[in-house]
A = this chain, B = another copy of it.
């Protein structure tokens, strides 16, 4: 059964009527960027609030929330901190579902700020209104036509709803990860910036995404937690159903100190967090690159049945070193079945190749790029193999074979392109568009495969427990 909190969050993320308090038509302001953004994304009912104006960008404008003659579900507040409490009182009067508070300068700055944000939360909750923030970037719900993420608006990220959801105690994380992953072929249900969490907190968002039917993969950046007990219980439940990929900032003492001045969060000890990841099955990563790498891997790939990985390469050295990287990441490289070897032998030249694990199809594959696809299909039939890591050159014909073959098999395929991404952006774009998780280094591909296998095992064990 859906909890009251989940229901309330769902109403906010799917609001059809939005007041933008602090709307503006002045170039270079958030007030304009967000108003244009809501309009362009197709938010059905937009009410700019600005006491000094009658009309902004063709929208009738109101002096305050209570002056709006129709019902409003959500208010986005771009005002200074001292104005927030008054507006929240109006929101209560107007019976809104929620408010998003952008302003910084609360609990992360001083005890007075902390007291003020607590009062805001108290007033809001008592009146049935939930608060996102303060000191946050709001959220991005493309299917509902809602976004307050600057990068996504400036870069015109499309408003296609999808299955990646998440929350972050860092505005720039939410904003950037949406931009990165949308450009890489993923689409979002909702991404939310938690801010100081005076009311709604990480554990609430996690619970929401756990129950949200559209969300299949959950991303998170966290620095601290408000209600550790509840967070643990929610995490244990959610991570058993869906992958939760989390980057925890403030694991070191110095990082924790920085977190305190960032969002006022108490970061907690690394020991406690590591135990939490262990016990809940949360997929813990330690940098943005791993968030993106894992997000793509979990988004595009089925879960593997085991850790048995085949390495397919056309460069001997890369194959050798990739074998090292796979084993170091905890993967297994089983021997290929005799039938697989026999079938590979039929398609591969004898010199400059190697039929083992790694399989080296040799530089001849540059002249015959179809070898990649043929080899993938043969290897995928091998009962010893659960996943395939393919090293390829940045040559479209090779990529095409891999894309076509990947569509026909139900085992994870991770591609490592042997070229810096900034040198061949078009190859990375092509693979992303075709739902292939591509990495610029085989070590990163191996890392993602190992996390897929680890999570698949965890999930199967939890399901067996009932």
Contact = CB atoms under 8 A, between A and B. Distances in A.
Contacts of A325: 286-287
B172 A315 contact: yes
Interface size class of A (residues with CB under 8 A): 35 or more
Nearest to A251: B324
Question: How many monomers of this protein are in the complex?
Answer: 2
A320 B223 contact: yes
A420 B450 CA distance: 22
Contacts of A333: 254
Interface in A146-201: 168-173, 176, 179-180, 183-184
B421 A254 contact: no
A401 interface: no
Interface string A414-451: 00001111111100110000000000111110000000
Interface stretch (A84-92, A258-266, A453-461): A258-266
Nearest to A253: B327
A258 B356 contact: yes
A354 B262 contact: yes
A167 to B, nearest CB: 12
B254 A318 contact: no
Contact of A351 (B105, B287, B314, B424): B105
A229 to B, nearest CB: 24
Of all A-B residue pairs in the complex, the 5 with the closest CB atoms, nearest first, are A170-B317, A172-B315, A262-B316, A421-B422, A249-B321
26 contacts: A105-B351, A170-B315, A171-B316, A171-B363, A172-B318, A172-B363, A176-B418, A179-B423, A183-B420, A221-B321, A223-B320, A247-B321, A250-B321, A250-B324, A251-B324, A262-B316, A262-B319, A286-B321, A286-B324, A287-B321, A288-B321, A288-B442, A292-B420, A421-B421, A421-B422, A425-B425
